[in-house]
Amino acid sequence: MRIASLPDFLLQRIDRATGQPVNRQIYQVLREATLSHQLPAGLQLPSSRELARELAMSRNTVTHAYEQLIAEGYLETRAGAGTFIADTVPDQIVDICRNSRGDTDHLGQVGLSNRGAQLIQRAGVSALQWGAFMPGVPDVTQFPSKVWSRLQNKHWRRSRAELLSYGQGGGYLPLREAIAEYLRVARSVNCRTDQIIITTGIHQSIDLAAKLLGEHGDRAWVEEPCYWGTRSVCHSLGIEPVPIPVDAEGMQVYQTDASHPAQPPRFIFVTPSHQYPLGTVMSLSRRRLLLEYAAAHKAWIMEDDYDSEFRYGSRPLASLQGLDTHERVLYMGTFSKTMFPGLRIGFLVVPEGLSAAFATGHSELYRGGQVFTEAILADFMTEGYFASHIRRMRVLYGERLRLLQQAIEHHFGDAIDFSDGDAGLHLALHLPPECNDVAISSEARAAGIITRPLSGYYMQAASTKRGLMLGYACVPDAQIAPAFDKLAGIIKRHWPA
């Protein structure tokens, strides 16, 4: 490896005004940088001729410095390869980098704000993002990368400047058109192109809506249990999540206000198509109640439709947004499940009256999106690859859900219940209240099995249920039973006597 900016590094440190010979200064700078690891062992230096040209100095000056450093062991020459920072200066290492490693147990001490410390303490994100049974992750190995590469290369050959510069105005127009058309047809979303705002995913969609529509100190109803990310983003913006329990019909919104906290919320976050994490589907009557409540109290419904493309067998459900006649619903979707998470593209459908403000607000707050990638995705959708990839994955994931269900029944029969809503990328395995799902999950992790304890999705001890979130979509068919065998052993050891 070479550091081409070594000339800059030296020029910053050489001062001709001191009267000290320049070769001596080069020697000292390189020596100190080697001792302090600013220049790491093994780094190849430019040839003395090259460096002299870059520094606008005579070659002799550089050669003298190099020779001295080689003589003292700081540099070494390798035959036919060049000059390198030497490997062996262990005794003299002066680590000028900071060495006071942060104590994350005392987050306030290192300088975190209250909201920062709370965010980190409550963090729900996992260090592992791939493997059985990672919830919420699609099988990215099945992604048609050849098609994608081809579309990508086509765009690189055209290389239009606008696609490489800053994005603005809600995202790349043809992608917004493709998404609008897709949502109208597949999800019964009522929308025109200008209502589509391209984001980096659900998190950014929440952030944008919360900043544009919410004030610090506002409250947001969230489902109990709910996705950890929704709570974290709300907290980070000073918006207090208020847990509203979920039953078999969805969030428990009732006609009378008596059963609710006195102050209506600014936002209501729901996952009507496939409750996260429980998998239930919000009933039509509950949907209507929710829409009426939101219209009456001027609350914004944030419909998180994160994985509704994957339904196995049962009839696909129309979106809540499509039922809304009062412009109170913001619909959020993501390509993380249908394409791959690292794409970092999602979208927000806003009521038409808000579309201009959201497009401007997005550019202002985030400086636009990955326009080039948005253009490739637009092609991928309009050329039909998106729909056919979803169809193919639907068959694959449906089969994997069946395999996981079989494995669960094989081990536990009727003794254990699970909910999946016949849809999505994960199921929730329910455990008896005496079972410590956190302990099971961490034991499983040690055995190489990723799960998430269901209790982590609840905010209130009283409503908390025990269980495990199991993602099956990213697990090859043949691995499902063996991986569950391991997990079942751990669960059985924790089973109440």
User: In the window 284-323, what residues touch its own copies (CB under 8 A)?
Assistant: 298, 300, 315-318
Ranges within 327-346 binding its own copies (CB under 8 A): 327, 336, 340-344
Cα-based torsion angle of the residue sequence 113, 115, 120, 125 in order, rounded to the nearest 10 degrees: -150
Binding marks (x or -) toward its own copies, 438..477, rule CB under 8 A? ------------------------------------x---
286/328 with CB nearer its own copies: 328
Q: What are phi and psi of 52, to 5 degrees?
A: -60, -40
* Residue in 56, 78, 81, 159 binding its own copies, rule: CB under 8 A: 159
Q: How many other CB atoms are there within 10 angstroms of residue 358's CB atom? A: 25
8 Å CB contact between 198 and 170: yes
Q: How many other CB atoms are there within 10 angstroms of residue 384's CB atom? A: 9
Binding marks (x or -) toward its own copies, 225..264, rule CB under 8 A? ----x--xx--xxx--------------------------
Question: Applying CB under 8 A, does 273 fall inside the site for its own copies?
Answer: no
| Residue carrying the six token digits 């409250």 | 219
Task: In whole angstroms, give the CA distance from residue 406 to residue 412.
Answer: 10
Q: What angle do CA 6, 12, 13 make, to 5 degrees?
A: 95
Residue 319 DSSP one-character state = P
Cα-based torsion angle of the residue sequence 354, 356, 358, 361 in order, rounded to the nearest 10 degrees: -140
Ranges within 402-421 binding its own copies (CB under 8 A): none
Question: Applying CB under 8 A, does 85 fall inside the site for its own copies?
Answer: no
Closest contact distance (angstroms) between CB of 353 and its own copies is 3
161/461 with CB nearer its own copies: 161
Q: What are phi and psi of 293, to 5 degrees?
A: -60, -45
Residue 406: strand, helix, or coil: helix
Total interface residues for its own copies by CB under 8 A: 131
Interface region with its own copies, contact rule CB under 8 A, candidates 192-200, 285-293, 412-420, 429-437: 192-200
| Residue carrying the six token digits 């254990």 | 416
Interface region with its own copies, contact rule CB under 8 A, candidates 75-83, 197-205, 414-422, 483-491: 197-205
Question: Applying CB under 8 A, does 493 fall inside the site for its own copies?
Answer: no
| Residue carrying the six token digits 């390869």 | 81
* Residue in 49, 192, 492, 493 binding its own copies, rule: CB under 8 A: 192
Task: In whole angstroms, give the CA distance from residue 107 to residue 487.
Answer: 34
176/430 with CB nearer its own copies: 176
170/225 with CB nearer its own copies: 170
Ranges within 37-76 binding its own copies (CB under 8 A): 38-40
Ranges within 386-405 binding its own copies (CB under 8 A): 387-388, 390-391
Question: Applying CB under 8 A, does 277 fall inside the site for its own copies?
Answer: no
Residue 496: strand, helix, or coil: coil
78/101 with CB nearer its own copies: 101
Residue 468: strand, helix, or coil: strand
Ranges within 343-372 binding its own copies (CB under 8 A): 343-344, 351-357, 360-361, 363-372
Q: How many other CB atoms are there within 10 angstroms of residue 44's CB atom? A: 15
For strands 426-430 and 417-419, give the pairing.
antiparallel
